[in-house]
Amino acid sequence: MATDFWASSHYKRWIVDRATLKQARADDLVYVSEPECLEFLAIYFANIISKLGKKLGFRQRVIATATVFFRRFYLKNSYCETDPYLVLSACCYVAAKAEESPVHIKNVVAESRALFSQEQYNVKHFPSDNSKLAEMEFYLVDDLECDLIVFHPYRTLLALCNKDFGNSNSSSDSPAEEAEAGELGTGIGADDGPRYWGTGQGQLELSEGGLQTAWFIINDTYRSELCLIYPPHLIAVTAIYLTLVLHTPTQNSIAHLLPYSPAFNSDSSNSGEPSQTTPHPRRSSRTSDSSSKHANQQDPIDFLANLNVSLSAIATIAQEIISMYSLWNRYREDVTAEEMRNMNANANMEPEKSSPERFCIRRHYL
């Protein structure tokens, strides 16, 4: 069913394990000095998709879908045999249609050419001919096995944390959408959501800033390959958890509920900028003490504990998100030409220089 995650193509065919991811990059690995470079590539291309999407006026969900398409495509293909710029442009074009907000192909071509020809990308070979992008679309849809409906954590986030988001335009990025809980269980539709949440206390009230932070954390996860490994609702719950830990106002508002709050408070100076935050190691013991909760306020620990999800999975994803942030901190796009030359000189140059795609990857990343 198109709204039931467990019956979806996303769950059945596109949740993969680490070994598969590693296998998918085997051919590319030959061309890089460090495997980490390929993870930087994942960030790099996600950034471009996001930029191109914004130029095309995409909503966040369309950008997310395009990014997932891109990641799925490179599960089956290698960067070195393809033109990632053409691929990501096609991903944006298909995602817009799949999310029912189509853009004309000539706009995609024009915006792609304009963006990629900027100095930082310096991609001059992007075709001006619409049919080249349309041809790539054909190959792309085929490689995606025609599975074009993608689930995203945004929906779960809104269903769990935004009681009346239908009326409030709390953030520019979070569209005023209809509540939907279908992602969390078989056959759960919007109508029977409350039944699933049990007591009717199923929603966590986050402040606007807190919701925003969780939303941004979810945006950030698309820089990694987490969207291929974990079901979106688990990523959403993890984003909520990280928000509770990292977002200062949210943290302050629940501090009196947490037994070890001073330890947490000391470490939360960087709210709202999760990418800059170095998280403090967590204490797992705090989950045991929920009896001290304030009578009138909802206890977020209770909330998380009562969700019908594996908390150890949440903890794992939290670790993955944190290591993604630390990787991202080491990543930089503004490498000068001089530095790049040095790096190129250091890398072993293979003779396949004739292939423009390979050259272009090396030029940027090695």
- Residue 314 Cβ vs another protein, minimum distance, rounded to whole Å: 24
Helices (H), 59-102: 60-76, 84-98
Q: Report the length, in residues, of the chain.
A: 366
SS3 assignment, position 172: coil
User: Could you give the CA distance from residue 102 to residue 94 in angstroms, rounded to a whole number?
Assistant: 8
Residue 311 touching another protein (CB under 8 A): no
CB of 126: closest distance to another protein in angstroms?
12
For residue 233, count CB atoms less than 10 angstroms from its CB and return exposed for 0-12, middle for 13-18, buried for 19 or more. Answer: buried
Q: With contacts defined by CB under 8 A, how many residues of the chain interact with another protein?
A: 52
Binding status of residue 231 toward another protein by CB under 8 A: no
Q: Which is nearer to another protein, 65 or 250 (CB)?
A: 65
Query: Between 144 and 237, whose beta carbon lies closer to another protein?
Result: 144
Select the span of 42-50, 171-179, 193-201, 241-249 touching another protein (CB under 8 A). Answer: 171-179
Measured at the CA of 70, the angle between CA 312 and CA 24, to 5 degrees, comes to 70
| The one segment of 5-13, 165-173, 250-258, 278-286 that binds another protein by CB under 8 A | 5-13
168 is an interface residue for another protein by CB under 8 A: no
Among 4, 173, 267, 302, interactor with another protein by CB under 8 A = 4
Q: Is 337 in the site for another protein (CB under 8 A)?
A: no
Q: Considering only 4-12, 16-24, 242-250, 269-277, which stretch makes contact with another protein by CB under 8 A?
A: 4-12
Which residues inside 81-120 make contact with another protein, applying CB under 8 A?
Answer: 81-83, 86, 93-94, 97-102, 105
Using the CB atoms, write b or e for 279-295: b if 16+ within 10 Å.
beebeeebeeeeeebee
What per-residue string of b and e applies to 159-177 under the rule 16 or more CB within 10 Å gives b? bbbbbebeeeebeeebeee
Q: Which of 16, 55, 147, 265 binds another protein (CB under 8 A)?
A: 147
Q: What is the largest CA-CA distance in the chain?
A: 70
DSSP 54: H
What the block records as the tokens of 325 is 């942030």
190 binds another protein (CB under 8 A): yes
CA-CA-CA-CA torsion for 291, 296, 297, 298, nearest 10 degrees?
A: 70
| Member of 131, 297, 319, 326 binding another protein (CB under 8 A) | 131
* 166 lines the binding site for another protein (CB under 8 A): no
Q: Quick check: 137 binds another protein (CB under 8 A)?
A: yes
Burial label, 10 (beta-carbon count in 10 A; 0-12, 13-18, 19+)? buried
Cα separation of 89 and 76, whole Å? 18
What whole-number distance in Å separates Cα of residue 176 and Cα of residue 168? 7
Q: By CB under 8 A, which span of 175-183, 236-244, 286-294, 304-312 interacts with another protein?
A: 175-183
Contact 257, 292 (CB under 8 A): yes
Q: For residues 165 and 155, give the distance between their C-alpha atoms in angstroms, rounded to a whole number.
A: 12
Give the residue, chosen from 77, 203, 219, 243, that forms a contact with another protein under the rule CB under 8 A: 77
Least separation, in Å, of the C-beta of 175 and another protein? 6
Q: Establish if 364 lies at the interface with another protein (CB under 8 A).
A: no
Q: Taking CB under 8 A as the rule, which mask of x and - marks residues 33-72 in contact with another protein?
A: --------------------------x-xx----------
Q: What angle do CA 253, 256, 259 make, to 5 degrees?
A: 130
Q: How far is the CB of 24 from another protein (least distance, A)?
A: 14
Contact between 299 and another protein per CB under 8 A: no
Smallest gap from Cβ 337 to another protein, in A, equals: 26
Q: Is 252 in the site for another protein (CB under 8 A)?
A: no
Residues contributing to the site for another protein (CB under 8 A): 1-4, 7-9, 59, 61-62, 77, 81-83, 86, 93-94, 97-102, 105, 130-135, 137-139, 141-143, 145-149, 155, 175, 177-178, 180, 182, 187, 189-190, 355, 357
